[in-house]
A and B are shown apart, each in its own frame.
Chain A
Amino acid sequence: MEPLDFEKPLMEIEKNIVQLKEKALNEKIDFSETIAVLEKEVIEKKKQLYRNLSPDQRLKIARHPNRPNTLDYISFIFKDFIELHGDRVFGDDNAIIAGLATVGGHGVVVIGQQKGKDTKEKLFRNFGMAHPEGYRKALRIMQMASRFQVPIISFIDTPGAFPGISAEERGQASAIAVNLREMMSLKTPVICYVIGEGGSGGALGIAVGDKIVMLEHAYYSVISPEGCAAILWKTATKTPEAAQALKMTATDLHAFGIVDEILEEPLGGAHRNPQEMAQTIKLSIIQTIEEFSRLGGEALIRHRQEKFRQIGVYQTQALSQPSVSQTEMEIGPSPAFNKPVE
């Protein structure tokens, strides 16, 4: 596995350890003490390194080509997965997977964006960027889950909804908006896992849930850091600054109360040990299903509505401050027309 830039120094030490072990074996010299010291050092340094990654470095892990994706987790976590296809109107979007499965004795509906690993799969999955029919397929199947009181597990991993001609023609914005509204009134637990990329509205389109969980190195952002850098700094080279400014890491979003829980990743990221990561997610899924299944449909809806209703930070201007209405009167054409009626 190609190391990421910031992993290279540690990779060097690891390489030295391997060489030392070989040398010990070949020349029958006992280096075991030195090796033990080095190995301990590597683990300590790794912990340090991965705990203190910059948002930009985390982004590289979130987008790592070997990072486990929705289908990986489906195969590791669930039994008897039956994939369901199509929006019954236009087509079947391969960027969003949906189906039935079981986990820990619970029947569930699984939804998730699938990015694809090799070039062929990436093209087939459109890099995990869904068209409107993908969001509509997801909603159709989630509404079915709601009818039969089946919990919904949603895996979020997309750079964004597809920005294309046909996507616009078929109502990309409308498809996402309708999902936001309709997911609010699903009468079954909806549990969301941001497993890699939480790319803006395209991510949110399947992420209106009772509990939002994020993997340690995943990101969730209103805009891609590249897009933000291009708009505000007018250059893509400022992506690291944008990634920092957007506060898009799990830690930030948990502190903001937007994300409910962070799941720790195996040392170095989920791709270093996909099974271990899957096991962590599986435990979380089972626990959360049991927690929310106790609530009835109406209570779930109230809880979900309230959860999103309270998100937002603003201040209330003191009445003693310069009168706002004064300002308003100045802006428009003629004060007579623009004066707000008190």
Chain B
Amino acid sequence: MSFFGSKFNPFQTSKRKIPDGLFSKCPKCSQTIYNKEIDANLKICPKCEYHFTLGAWERINLMIDKGTFVEMDKSLISADPLNFQGPKTYPQKLSEDQEATGLNEAVICGLGNIMSIPVSFGVTDSRFIMGSMGSVVGEKLTRCIERGIEKKIPVVIVSGSGGGARMYEGCFSLMQMAKTSGALSRLSEAGMPFISILTNPTMGGVLASFASLGDIIIAEPDALIGFAGPRVIAQTVRQELPEGFQKSEYLLKHGNIDRVTNRRNLTQEVFQILQVLYQENRKEVGIEN
């Protein structure tokens, strides 16, 4: 895969510990590595295979055939329905994260091809208010799923959300869980597959709704995936959490996900899955290519 050329600098906009921008410290093996080296390696640590977080556009570049992606609903932006009075106001938080990420919300949705198979694609960016789901994320993902129904194409959503349902929009956020899940019920009825890809981290209300409803659920290695945060759990049960708890491999062992797949093989694997679930399906319902 050659999408990540030498000019690729995925760390350009992310907050880094090492200020000169040349090196990063791997959170897993603690080695200091050239950013260029990480970037050239799909942002996988060359020493220990740790998967660094990808931004939404990086994910699109990784998975969607070059030149085929058409972004949809990008004009949707958050309102402040609660007039949220916190230490920071919601508009303040939004503009901070808009500035930091260059995104206007925590999700990008659109149409594109995965190795020539057309899909309705969505990806959340965990850097934007922790990838949390408010009205805009819920609405854009719902439309993303509905495009799968309308166009009779599979839906692929990549989740990265440490935040779950977004606090700043209160119950409006909570209800997006039901809204996205309801759309997936209709997608299922329409006979179109949904592939859910879980990346580090996928938590809370995002995992407890659309992200858990994939016909196939694939996680990237070593990703934190759970309903409740590990700290909350440790405080509640007052015991030490098991080794590897809430990591991809742990979920695989407990039967919660279909596969753990290295980023290098992800696109190919999704393609293979869609070839079986979608191409066959198209023959059945008699839709010509």
Contact = CB atoms under 8 A, between A and B. Distances in A.
Partners in one complex: yes
B85 interface: yes
Contacts of B7: 333-334, 336
Interface string A134-170: 0000000000000000000000000001111101111
A31 interface: no
Given A165-B233, A241-B85, A319-B75, A312 B170 contact: no
A248 B174 CA distance: 11
Contacts of A62: none
Contacts of A253: 171
Interface string B54-84: 0101100100000111110011111101101
Contacts of A163: 227-229, 232-233, 236
B185 A184 contact: yes
Contacts of B175: 204, 258, 308, 311-312
B178 A222 contact: no
Contacts of A334: 5, 7-9
Contact of A246 (B75, B82, B101): B82
Contacts of A263: none
Q: Label chain B's interface by main secondary structure.
A: mixed
A305 B186 contact: yes
B138 interface: yes
B41 interface: no
B103 A201 contact: no
A177 B208 contact: yes
B48 interface: no
B102 interface: yes
A174 B3 CA distance: 34
Contacts of B167: 222-223, 228, 231-232, 246
Interface stretch (A70-78, A108-116, A323-331): A323-331
A220 B172 CA distance: 11
Given A327-B102, A340-B70, A208 B172 contact: no
Contacts of A317: 75-77, 104
A244 interface: yes
B122 to A, nearest CB: 14
A248 B78 CA distance: 20
B273 interface: no
B118 to A, nearest CB: 14
Among A208, A246, A318: residue with most chain B CB under 10 A: A246
A341 B3 contact: no
A184 B167 CA distance: 24
Interface of A: 161-165, 167-174, 176-178, 180-182, 184-185, 200-201, 204-205, 208, 220-223, 227-228, 231-233, 241-242, 244-248, 253, 256, 258, 304-305, 308-309, 311-319, 324-325, 327-328, 330-334, 336-338, 340-342
Given A313-B79, A327-B104, 15 more contacts: A168-B233, A168-B246, A172-B208, A173-B211, A180-B182, A181-B181, A200-B205, A201-B208, A222-B171, A253-B171, A308-B179, A315-B77, A316-B75, A331-B55, A340-B74
Q: When A and B form their complex, which 10 residue pairs have the shortest distance between CB atoms, in order from nearest? A: A331-B102, A163-B228, A312-B135, A180-B181, A177-B212, A313-B81, A173-B207, A173-B227, A172-B227, A173-B208
9 contacts: A177-B208, A201-B209, A258-B172, A308-B175, A309-B183, A314-B78, A332-B102, A333-B39, A334-B5
